[in-house]
Amino acid sequence: MGTESKRQQRFAGVLQQDLAELLQREGNSWAPGAFITVTRVRVTPDLAIARVYLSFLNTKTAPEDLKAIRTKTTEIRYKLGSKIKNQVRIVPQLDFFLDDTNEYVEHMDKIFEEISKETRQPD
């Protein structure tokens, strides 16, 4: 997407905060037992599409939980729109993605641990 303008960044911040509040209130009914975090929101230059990156904690079924959230996209967009209707002309289309940064970091940590153990052993 390149660099985002200040306007895009500001709007993405508003969306991130409002979506986080919405998912905190109602996310348990869509993904039972999961703690959902909105890690990042990226917005297109025309502010028409928002890519929302979600992280799921306390669950082993993150892909299934993401599918459940995606099936509720229309409902989430409607509720978001009622909250931000005075701030925007159009409510952006929401695309949800799984943010697997935490899993990637854990995986890399394990690899580095294994490498450091191998180098410490005398030949």
pLDDT digits (tens, 9 = 90+) for 69-95: 999 999 999 999 998 888 888 899 999
C-alpha 78/C-alpha 74 separation (Å) is: 6
* Between 120 and 63, the higher pLDDT residue: 63
What is the C-alpha to C-alpha distance for residues 73 and 93, in angstroms, rounded to an integer? Answer: 9
Q: Which tens digit of pLDDT belongs to each residue from 111-121?
A: 888 888 776 65
CATH of domain 6-120: 3.30.300.20
> Which positions ≥6 away from 58 have C-beta within 8 Å?
33, 34, 35
